[in-house]
Structure 1
Amino acid sequence: MTGLGAGLAPNLVLAGPQYVDQTGFAASGHDVVAYFSLPQAPVGQAQPNAVPGRADITAEYNGAKFAFSTPENRDLFLADPARYAPQYDGHCAYGVSKGGKVPGNPNLWRIVDGKLYLNITKNVVGFWEEDIPGNISLAQTNWVGGVEPKAAADSGIPDFVSTAPVAP
């Protein structure tokens, strides 16, 4: 979906540590590099599930441990982590556009202009997809504005059950 939101999401801006849930990993232990090789569904359709990472293939970035499905994906990540890390430190992109800071669900994702965005629930994905460029613009303004988004980032992902995303 390149071109959607072109120029609206400049380089990754780190506003704090990467969101890490009870798995102890960013993106709930899913391989953030693998998203870029998954087929992306059209707007309005569900994306393929994220690829689980392995607990023995990891890298550190932005205060968090990331897991990868292959050593090659880990090496790609280490060469350019800002290219692969989820935007808004792994928080819900739509939530940030509305001034909130809630966890992103790794199975509710979209790549826009080469950047990975996560959302929190299927309902939120619908709102996000109504105006992706506008929501990215609002999120960038909120994120870069130096204002800490409201709401705690330590709450769990509603209706999301991890399927053992990291294997030994």
Structure 2
Amino acid sequence: MSENGSTQRRKKLVGAIAAALAVAVLVVAGFVSSQTSSAIPAINVDSEQLAIHGYDTVAYFTDNKAMQGSKEHSADWEDATWHFASAGNRDLFEANPERYAPQFGGYCALGLAAGEFADIDPKAFTIVDGKLYFNKTKQFREAWRKAPDAYLVTANYNWSENRKNLRDNR
């Protein structure tokens, strides 16, 4: 194997180890919520059923930034209310909500990798392979960005295992 290939494998291994250690530290330190999945809605909403704290989920893709939405441009989907910065963004969402909706119901991706459902900071986002992921803090986002592939394995597993136990957002 070339030194370049060996170096790349070593970097991936170090990233995976760092990811596993970061998740372990988060769990031990108790930085994520400890709710049981049966008490958690399928979409991360506030007390008024507003998804992602009222931010425009389409703007993350079209503008690559967090933009506060408006109730004047809103849509209901999956028993949650979604706000948008413009009627155009709302229309894009309504035409294809699965394309724009965040992964893991809008819960913290790093938290889910640790087996916990945690709220998010709408400004702590990452788009990976055309999919939107949120994290609880910008520090969590930076940890996530160091090894997203490693985190996605456990986050996807935890999401699929717990998804059937989540309650409707009603």
With structure 2 as the length reference, what TM-score do the two structures score? Answer: 0.68
Matched, 1:112 2:137: no
Give the counterpart of 1:33 among 52, 58, 65.
58
Give the counterpart of 1:97 among 106, 113, 120.
113
What residue ranges of structure 2 are gaps of 5+ in the alignment? 1-39, 166-170
Which residue identity does 1:131 align to in structure 2? A
Which residue in the other structure is 2:100 paired with? Answer: 84
Q: CA deviation at 1:118?
A: 0.2
Deviations 1:70-90 (Å, cap 9, x if unpaired)? 111111101111111111111
Q: 1:146 to 1:129 in 2, by over 3 A?
A: same
Matched, 1:129 2:154: no
With structure 1 as the length reference, what TM-score do the two structures score? Answer: 0.69
The aligned length equals 126
Which residue in the other structure is 1:18 paired with? Answer: 43
What residue ranges of structure 1 are gaps of 5+ in the alignment? 1-14, 40-47, 150-168
Larger CA deviation: 121-130 vs 98-107: 121-130
Deviations 1:101-157 (Å, cap 9, x if unpaired)? 0012110001111110000012212221221111112110110123789xxxxxxxx
> Which has the greater radius of gyration?
2
Instruction: With a CA cutoff of 8 Å and minimum separation of 6, indicate the structure with the bigger relative contact order.
Output: 1
* Distance in 1 (alpha carbons) for counterparts of 2:48 and 2:110: 23
Provide the identity percentage.
Answer: 37
After the TM superposition, list the runs of 4 or more consecutive aligned residues in structure 1 that deviate by more than 3 angstroms: 146-149
- Higher relative helix content: 2
